[in-house]
Structure 1
Amino acid sequence: MDLSHLRLFARAARRGSFAAAARDLDMDASAVSRAVAALEAELGTRLLHRTTRTMALTEAGQAYLARVEPLLEELDRARDEVASARSEPVGTLRLTTSVAFGETCLMPLVPQMRARFPRLKLDLLLTDANLDLAAERIDIALRLAPEPQAELVGVKLFQTRYRVVASPAYLDRAGAPATPAEVQACPAIVFALPDFRSRWLFRRDGRVEDVPVSGALAISSGLAIRHAALEGLGLALLPDWLVGPDMAAGALVDVFPAYEVTATTFDTAAWLLYASRQYVPKKVRLMTQFLRERLTGAPAGSPTRTPARPQGGS
């Protein structure tokens, strides 16, 4: 039995189409289709239902995939163990995070990643969509959330805090609101999502105030909201990891430093996530260690600090 046929079948089944599997592997969809057909002919049973628009596992295909995937994982584990004498991992590592977090906190680390793991190819997917780690073959996700999804292994990197910020020029021109209630009379630069554009929540000493906000500017990008705030276009609610350097430089001012503020949930954090499975590839283990050393407990505005201890091995 051709091992490559098994791998292509498993990839196509998880991705839901020959075309998606082919894109993952930089090959023709027809080659994936032929490999699966050859496997079906060898087994004497159909593994996948195909139509012009959809593809799904047959009952036999579901049973076969459940048996084959652990075997393929064991083969990958054996390969890693044989190659463990190498000091650096090889292959491709796929990592996803939001656009703003990626550009602000991840991209400054990329030169260090390349130097630390020269034989590792990095696929960095910066998107505000929460991609399915299994379906998209993602090894690691960096996400901002109250808590990780139950089916994923979650490592808390640091607690996040949101700030109501404005430029000194805006505050000189319009004046700073003295209380949260006064915010509703100020132009706000709001995030263009239903749960984010109509109110901000302020918490102090356990008391929460729900303050309506409005403005002529709604933007779907945290990076663009930051830019608008720097240009003096109004108040903005942004995370400390994004505006920490601006506040330290005096380019933005924290209007309510004594308050916790949010548009949805107060207690959120930056998480490092990866799929829960029996065997974690070496490349994932080492990259997880690398990111934890540089991001765990990072102070506001400095999430890419120098690690406190030397990097470990495998």
Structure 2
Amino acid sequence: MDWDKLRVFHAVAEAGSFTHAGESLNLSQSAVSRQISALEESLNVPLFHRHARGLILTEQGELLYHTARDVFAKLSMTEAMLTESREHPKGPLKITTTVAFGTTWLTPRAREFLQIYPDIQLSLLLDDTELDLGMREADIAIRMTSPRQPDLIQRHLMTIRFHVYGHVSYLKRKGVPKTIQELDNHDLIAYPADMRAPISNINWLLEAGDPPQGTRTPIMRVNNVYAIYKAVESGLGMAALPDYMVEGSRDMVRVLPELSGPKVETYFVYAEELRHSKRIAVFRDFLVRKVGETTF
């Protein structure tokens, strides 16, 4: 199979059109089209359904695309490892984690890391869904659950604890609850019940109590933990938030301090093929040090 044609096919499958693929490859649309037609002729199978709105992979095209994507991912990983100096880490490094953790804990610490390692090109991919490390969608993941894939290396990073928080403006207006039962009379902010959350049992506050209370009705539901934090910060109501998110805030008050939610174990995860990467090692060691410095 011609390597140049396979490279063009991969770009077209990723872009979904000859025009966009040509822009990424610095080729004309007609040149890209000719390469795809030649590849289809050599394989004697159609790879794309062509229509006015774009291109759709055929069944045979899907099979070739998944194989090509795996090949190019492996090549990208190998290229990064070959060009990396063991003594002086450099090159691209993509980290994925949840929006809440990445926004409030990880991003503020990126500046110090890049001051220490200025030749690393850091990319933070914040997404509450899990990216595929095996397909090199990211190099490192900081996950709130232990990964199940056997080809991933994991290290426990920290334990995240949740407590109930309210902004001083809200507490002045509505009062500070003294008992769990008093939460029934307060405005609570929660996660949508019918959506997949980044952690399990995220709405534990709605049923908190001993014995468990009936489900409380929140004043608002938001499908993002950082957005819940911003709603609490605005004085809208109270919510269960991870302690790291309110670290250092003077106006966010922990209420009912004896009440805490389930612990969330956080893991540093990367593909086994990157076990010898200096970039991975220095970022891991940096995070472990920063976790040791936290006060929550």
- TM-score between both structures, scaled by the size of structure 2: 0.71
Helix, strand or coil at the partner of 1:194: coil
CA distance in 1, matches of 2:12, 2:168: 55
**Partner of 2:154 in structure 1?**
154
Number of the residue aligned with 2:260: 260
Instruction: Give the direction of change, closer, same or farther, for the CA distance of 1:33–1:296 in structure 2 (3 Å limit).
Output: farther
Matches within 5 A, 1:97-176: 97-134=97-134, 137-143=137-143, 145-150=144-149, 152-176=152-176
What is the root-mean-square deviation of aligned Cα atoms in Å?
Answer: 4.3
The Cα of 1:294 is off from its aligned counterpart by: 3.9
Q: What residue in structure 2 maps to residue 312 of structure 1?
A: none
The number of residues matched between the two structures is 284
Aligned-partner Cα distance in 2 for 1:64–1:213 = 46
Q: Which residue of 1 aligns with 2:60?
A: 58
Matched residue type, 2:128: D
Distance (whole Å) between structure 1 residues aligned to residue 208 and residue 159 of structure 2: 17
Do structure 1's residue 191 and structure 2's residue 191 form an aligned pair? yes
Show CA shifts across 1:29-88 (max 9, x none). Answer: 9576666666666xx42587311342256399659938x957984795477346536612
Q: Kindly, what percent of the aligned residue pairs are identical?
A: 25
Superimposed CA distance per residue, residues 186-226 of structure 1 (whole angstroms, 9 cap, x where no aligned partner): 111223453656963447xxx67345222333333433332
* Counterpart residue identity of residue 149, structure 2: A
Q: Distance in 1 between matches of 2:24 and 2:282?
A: 22
Q: Which of these residues, 276, 282, 286, is aligned with residue 277 of structure 2? A: 282
CA deviation after TM superposition for structure 1 residue 175, in Å: 2.7
- How does the TM-score come out when normalised to structure 1? 0.68
Pick aligned residue for 1:49 from 26, 47, 50: 47
Aligned to 1:292: 287
How far did residue 130 of structure 1 move? 3.3
Structure 2: how far apart are the matches of 1:72 and 1:198?
40
Residue in 2 that maps onto 1:237? 240
Any idea what the Cα deviations from partners look like across 1:142-183, whole Å, max 9, x if unmatched? Answer: 23x343243543332111111111133433443322322321
Q: 1: CA distance between counterparts of 2:187 and 2:131?
A: 34
2:101 aligns to what SS in structure 1? helix
Cα distance change, pair 142–211 in 1 and its aligned pair in 2 (3 A) = farther
The answer for the alignment partner of 1:88 in structure 2 is: 89
Return 5+ residue gaps in structure 1 as ranges: 302-314
Deviation at 1:93, TM superposition (A): 2.6
Contact between 1:191 and 1:219, CA under 8 Å: does it hold in 2?
Answer: yes
When residues 189 and 82 of structure 1 are mapped into structure 2, their CA distance, relative to the original with a 3 A threshold, is: closer
